[in-house]
Amino acid sequence: MRRYRVLIADRSFDVTVRADGDVFSVDVDGTTRQVSLEKVGRRRSHMLVDALSREVDLKKSNGLWDVFIDGRQLSVDVVDFHLAELKKTAGVSHAATISRELKAPMPGMTLKLAVVEGQAVKKGDTLIILEAMKMENLIKAAGDGTVAKIHVAPGTSVEKGQTLIEFS
């Protein structure tokens, strides 16, 4: 059994993980789910939570996990529970920070930019609207930051993993 403190944006979750072969029993703040994860590519995995199937891309960047799921990007910080408690006692903050780069979670077409260079953004602000597979995907900020450079324009095609925006 392992315990973690998981931070997503400004929310904190206490997580306990128990392994039973390829299936994990994951308790998040008192709610238990059965989870299995099967790698299907370099970063892509097939995840089954209870009976719900999802494709998810995982990438570690600047100490955080960038998680791409359902057209959204999340920056996730996973910390050992006891270390998180020590930091909390010492008054060390674990506020979510925005990754230095926003990368395209999938290939598609940039429909609209919702920000400009130099603009301050808050967690949850829409940054770009990306069309992929005939669906509009709102790409939102995973944390607070400032737009340093925009690498795409409306109407341009993007490849999965291509840098869209840099933050300072």
Start and end residues for every CATH 2.40.50.100 domain found in the chain: 101-167
Q: Report residue 62's pLDDT band, with 50, 70 and 90 as the boundaries.
A: low
Across residues 19-47, what is the average pLDDT? 89
pLDDT of residue 134: 81
Q: Is the pLDDT of residue 65 over 90?
A: no
Looking at the chain, which residues constitute the CATH 3.30.700.30 domain(s)? 2-90
Higher per-residue confidence, 92 vs 78: 78
Averaged over 124-151, what is the pLDDT?
Answer: 86
DSSP string, 84-106: HHHHHHHT-----B--SEEE-SS
Mean pLDDT of the 74-80 span:
84
For 2-90, the fitting CATH number among 3.40.50.1000, 2.30.38.10, 3.40.50.970, 3.30.700.30 is 3.30.700.30
- Torsion sign across C-alpha atoms 119, 57, 97, 143: positive
Dump pLDDT digits (tens) for 83-111: 777 766 665 555 545 567 888 888 899 99
Q: Which residue has the higher pLDDT, 115 or 143?
A: 115
The average pLDDT across 25-29 equals 92
- Rounded to an integer, what is the distance from CA 86 to the centroid of its chain? 25
2 contacts: CB under 8 Å, gap ≥ 6: 16, 17
Q: 11 falls in which pLDDT band (50, 70, 90)?
A: confident
Q: What is the pLDDT of residue 112?
A: 95
CATH class of residue range 101-167: mainly beta
* Percentage, residues of the chain above pLDDT 70: 91
* Kind of pairing between the strands at 157-158 and 163-167: unpaired
Model pTM above 0.85: no
Q: What is the pLDDT of residue 122?
A: 84
Q: What are phi and psi of 52, to 5 degrees?
A: -95, 125
Within 18-162, where are the H helices? 81-90
b/e code 5-25 from CB counts within 10 Å (16+ = b): bbbbbeebeeebeeeeeeeee
